[in-house]
């Protein structure tokens, strides 16, 4: 049966671990100048209804290095949504391609495509989830610390797609995650429930999910501080209000010091410097944001291989 990656919950804990093990091999092989060509002759379709730098490049370059091919399907140039149904488009994609990755607004659109396509569908970001990003983030933390169990990761900012996938990822891998948002910008209740159910199912040694609204308190003893933009793609018209509401949640040197430790700093990028994160922090010695960005490539390759080859 084909597998999709619509949310992190499509993967069992052992499968995440398998993806990480393959990532280590892909990264090493590439650094040695001998990339693993495990997807020779395979094709990936890419659809972006929102902007992308890292996701697009890592999918395209990743497929090339794997011996396959990726093609951008410009949404405005396709029949889909104009005169062809998602059902028919999904069926047709499946006759040409080996997988399809899509970035769009509504999670439901990705779920509908997955229902009709006979090939793996990958969520390349929706308003609700960003699973490929958070797999990379957990891989990067694992790489830096050796393991992830019992680490404290504090996400400071908006309760958005990235925060949601973080909650699912942490609840599967044993991380103690604190999500610290302004009162009216907390994560979606349904996704909080999904994460709680993961914790109850106890696939791995238990982590925890805590929601907090006080950044100075939340960051105490943090091993990792993570942030993301205050206004996500599609929310630009609320950006001015958000700047006011989120300023106390800025990741700056005072917040780093409040941790009482020397936390590593992460950001999925793109960053709005001077808003959710200061130059001093993102360019500082505790920042691992560009290692994190690089790892998108290595993890993406392991995800593609897992979904396409099984």
Q: Which is nearer to ligand CP, 250 or 300 (CB)?
A: 300
Q: Is 4 a catalytic residue?
A: no
Work out whether 30 is an interface residue with ligand NVA (CB under 6 A).
no
H-run or E-run covering 152: strand 152-156
245 burial via Cβ count (<10 Å: 0-12, 13-18, 19+): middle
Phi, psi of 67 (to 5 degrees): 95, 5
Q: Which does 160 bind (CB under 5 to 8 A by kind): ligand NVA, ligand CP, none?
A: ligand NVA
SS (H, E, C) 139-151: HHHHHHHCCCCCC
22 is catalytic: no
Which of 9, 65, 136, 161: binder of ligand NVA (CB under 6 A)?
Answer: 161
- Binding test (CB under 6 A) with ligand CP, winner from 49, 54, 172, 242: 54
Report 128-167 residues binding ligand CP (CB under 6 A): 133
Residue window 112-131: x/- pattern of binding to ligand NVA, with contact defined by CB under 6 A:
-------------x------
In the list 156, 167, 195, 268, the residue contacting ligand CP (rule: CB under 6 A) is 268
Phi-psi group of 277: left, alpha or beta (phi > 0 → left; psi -120 to 50 → alpha; rest → beta): beta
> Across the chain, how many H-helices and E-strands are there?
12, 9
Which among 14-22, 184-192, 264-272, 280-288 is the span making contact with ligand CP, rule CB under 6 A? 264-272
Q: What is the CA radius of gyration of the chain?
A: 19
Residues 221-250 close enough to bind ligand NVA by CB under 6 A: 228-229, 232-233
What distances in angstroms separate CA 211 from CA 72, 155, 233, 281, one per listed residue?
38, 10, 23, 24
Cα-based distances in Å from 197 to 3, 5, 191, 204, 208: 21, 19, 10, 13, 11
Query: Binding of ligand NVA at residue 7 (CB under 6 A)?
Result: no
Task: Say whether residue 58 binds ligand NVA (CB under 6 A).
Answer: no
For ligand CP, which is the closer residue by CB, 199 or 225? 225
Q: Which residues bind ligand CP (CB under 6 A)?
A: 52-55, 125, 133, 268-270
Residues forming the active site: 103, 130, 133, 228, 268, 296
């Amino acid at each position: 049966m084909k597998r999709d990656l619509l949310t992190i919950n499509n993967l069992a804990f052992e499968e995440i671990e398998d993806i990480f093990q393959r990532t280590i091999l892909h990264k090493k092989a590439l650094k040695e100048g001998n990339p693993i060509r495990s997807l020779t002759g395979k094709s990936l379709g890419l659809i972006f209804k929102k902007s992308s730098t890292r996701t697009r490049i890592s999918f395209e370059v990743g497929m090339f290095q794997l011996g396959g091919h990726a093609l951008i399907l410009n949404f405005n140039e396709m029949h889909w949504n104009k005169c062809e149904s998602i059902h028919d488009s999904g069926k047709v994609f499946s006759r040409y391609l080996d997988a399809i990755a899509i970035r769009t607004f509504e999670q439901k659109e990705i779920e509908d495509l997955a229902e009709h396509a006979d090939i793996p569908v990958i969520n390349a970001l929706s308003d609700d989830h960003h699973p490929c990003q958070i797999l990379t983030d957990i891989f990067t933390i694992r790489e830096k610390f050796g393991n992830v169990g019992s680490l404290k990761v504090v996400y400071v900012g908006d309760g958005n797609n990235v925060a949601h996938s973080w909650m699912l990822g942490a609840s599967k891998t044993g991380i103690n995650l604190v999500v610290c948002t302004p009162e009216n910008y907390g994560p979606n209740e349904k996704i909080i429930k999904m994460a709680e159910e993961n914790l109850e199912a106890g696939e791995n040694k238990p982590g925890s999910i805590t929601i907090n609204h006080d950044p100075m308190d939340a960051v105490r003893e943090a091993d990792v501080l993570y942030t993301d933009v205050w206004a996500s793609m599609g929310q630009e018209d609320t950006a001015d209000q958000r700047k006011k509401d989120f300023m106390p949640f800025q990741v700056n040197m005072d917040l780093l010091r409040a941790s009482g430790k020397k936390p590593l700093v992460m950001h999925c990028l793109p960053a709005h410097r001077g808003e959710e994160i200061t130059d001093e922090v993102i360019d500082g010695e505790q920042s691992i944001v560009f290692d994190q960005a690089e790892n998108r490539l290595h993890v993406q390759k392991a995800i593609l291989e897992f979904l396409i080859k099984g």
